[in-house]
Amino acid sequence: MKIVAKIAELKEILNEYRDQGKSIGLVPTMGALHQGHISLVKRCIQDNDCCVVSVFVNPTQFNDKNDLKHYPRTPKEDCALLESVGCSIVFIPEVEEMYPEEDNRIFDLGSAAEVMEGRFRPGHFNGVAQIVSKLFYAVEPNKAYFGEKDFQQIAVIRAMERQIKTGVEIIDVPIVREDDGLAMSSRNRRLTESQRKNAPKIWETLSKSYNFAKDHSVEETTNFVIDTLNKIPEFKVEYYEIVDGDTLQPIKDWIETKRPVGCIATFCGEIRLIDNITYSVK
Ligand code: AMP
């Protein structure tokens, strides 16, 4: 496995793969890797001759500078884990390499970027589009892999790709959970012991709402989730919205979409966690 910090070196290595007609897959990450990331990496290895994993805590997507400061960074462990699963190249640049000067690009990411995360984390998705587009230009992958844990992000990246037309195929990969149901996240390691004990209640409540939804309205189901979680100590739901899984626009009635998806962001103490569930309401 090669560990590369410079775009020029990365391009040189990847050109050799391309010259030999080999396919290239990209998994963008911010490191502090866990099995959720690894499921993307394994899928990428399966589908491509060369798997590139980027590890870069992207400053432009953090609207909360405190979150950026405390974001876990474990580069040595990340490289060891990636090597053990058969990754070909880890791209692990410094901030100056990705942003030699300020990136002033503003992307038109459409209505999918305006709701939920877009509303509560202003500038977040534009920062995501800045870094993912730079990675697409640097790696020129055939395919890029994204986790459904960040459900809205996938729709936004598809919108970005429609705009910049690099030809990269966007592949989504299901959420990986801990045994107790908590969606794996690099931020989980920042939870206190008691917060960690309560955090699985997010998925437990979403799962309960799956059956609740069968004989309740969208509004009742939304309130059920918010009220249940807000009763747990240290929990404060930022939003719970049931949206059309393709457009990400909120629905009022189940019949408005074939694919209703409930998306949550909740604070657990200082830590902001997200998750989602796809409903099946006939
Ligand atoms: P991050 O390092 O948090 O930016 O995540 C990098 C990629 O891994 C994103 O596409 C995430 O959606 C994906 N990812 C993170 N956690 C999980 C998980 N628990 N299951 C599946 N994919 C995940």
Q: Where in the chain do CATH 3.30.1300.10 domains reside?
A: 186-276
**Residues 215-248 pLDDT 10s:** 999 999 999 999 999 999 999 999 999 999 999 9
Q: How far apart are CA 88 and CA 140, in angstroms?
A: 15
Ligand 1 pocket, residue 127 CB under 6 Å: no
**Residues 189-223 pLDDT 10s:** 999 999 999 999 999 999 999 999 999 999 999 99
Q: Where in the chain do CATH 3.40.50.620 domains reside?
A: 2-173
- Of 34, 40, 92, the one to substitute when testing ligand 1's pocket (max ligand atoms within 8 A of C-beta) is 40
How many Å lie between the centroid of ligand 1 and the Cα of residue 184?
8
Atom of ligand 1 nearest to the CA of 30: 2
Ligand 1 pocket, residue 1 CB under 6 Å: no
Q: Which residues are annotated as catalytic?
A: 37
Report the pLDDT averaged over residues 170-174.
Answer: 98
Q: How far apart are CA 62 and CA 125, in angstroms?
A: 9
- The yes-or-no verdict on residue 282 having pLDDT over 90 is no
Report whether CATH 3.30.1300.10 matches the domain 186-276.
yes
pLDDT for residue 91 = 99
2-173 folds as: Rossmann fold (3.40.50)
Strand 89-91 versus strand 50-55 pairing type: parallel
- Overall pTM > 0.75: yes
Residue 5 CB neighbours (<10 A): 12
Q: State the alpha helices, DSSP H only, in 48-150.
A: 65-70, 75-85, 95-98, 117-120, 124-139
**Residues 133-152 pLDDT 10s:** 999 999 999 999 999 999 99
What percent of the chain has pLDDT above 90?
Answer: 99
- The yes-or-no verdict on residue 174 having pLDDT over 80 is yes
Instruction: Tell me which residue has its CA closest to atom 5 in ligand 1.
Output: 29
For the chain, the C-alpha Rg in angstroms (whole number) is 19
Q: How far apart are CA 140 and CA 82, in angstroms?
A: 21
Ligand 1 pocket, residue 221 CB under 6 Å: no
- Of 150, 153, 276, the one to substitute when testing ligand 1's pocket (max ligand atoms within 8 A of C-beta) is 150
